[in-house]
């Protein structure tokens, strides 16, 4: 299990960027939201997903992350230079928290759910979860937790009830404005 941080300081692909973190306390969402505004990259990050090439990182892109309080996942919303959502990437986690500097992190449980703006989704890295369990990198409780969180997320996605997806653009506009104000 690997701990990952929202500021992604180890991300060498990004040459120039801004990072901002805010705490939200709304009825539908409570937790941290971060934004990486990507100004310059060494090279774009392009992935083939369902036989289609999709650019996930390039100059002018944004990666917004939601870290819901008392949850076992975080969500990266990938947004292009036209401010259009490319996808939501749900990282299922053993735990979510903040480090001493107040930067959100997640302890990755391998399993991910990727959702597209048209509502289609797919499960990613089930093989990694199985390998981690079979090689004793995680225990049975962690394995069950990952599967249960995945199933809960799928229900929320299918019924269009996921608070992060529903509020992404409002949160993006807010945190982008905050970023541009230099806060």
Contact 174/183 with Cβ under 8 angstroms? no
pLDDT tens digit string along 43-91?
999 998 878 899 999 999 999 999 999 899 999 999 999 999 999 999 9
Question: Within a 13 Å sphere around the CA of 178, how many CA atoms are in the beta-carbon half?
Answer: 18
pLDDT tens digit string along 119-128?
999 999 999 9
Domain extents in the chain: 2-180
Coil, strand or helix at 39: strand
Contact 90/114 with Cβ under 8 angstroms? yes
End-to-end alpha carbon distance in the chain? 32
pLDDT tens digit string along 17-41?
999 999 999 998 999 999 999 999 9
Topology of the domain comprising 2-180: FomD barrel-like fold (2.40.380)
d(CA 66, CA 167): 10
| Size of the chain in residues | 183
């Amino acid at each position: 299990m690997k701990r990952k941080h929202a500021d992604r300081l180890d991300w060498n692909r990004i040459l120039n960027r801004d990072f901002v973190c805010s705490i939200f306390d709304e009825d539908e969402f409570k937790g941290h939201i971060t934004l990486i505004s990507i100004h310059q990259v060494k090279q774009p990050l392009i992935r083939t997903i369902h036989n289609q090439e999709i650019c996930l990182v390039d100059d002018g892109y944004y990666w917004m992350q939601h870290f819901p309080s008392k949850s076992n996942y975080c969500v990266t919303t990938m947004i292009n230079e036209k401010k259009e959502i490319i996808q939501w990437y749900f990282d299922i986690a053993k735990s979510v928290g903040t480090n001493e500097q107040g930067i959100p992190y997640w302890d990755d449980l391998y399993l991910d759910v990727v959702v597209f703006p048209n509502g289609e989704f797919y499960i990613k890295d089930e093989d990694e979860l199985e390998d981690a369990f079979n090689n004793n990198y995680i225990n049975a409780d962690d394995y069950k937790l990952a599967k249960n969180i995945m199933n809960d997320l799928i229900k929320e996605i299918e019924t269009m009830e996921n608070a992060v997806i529903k509020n992404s653009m409002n949160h993006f506009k807010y945190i982008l404005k905050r970023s541009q104000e230099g806060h």
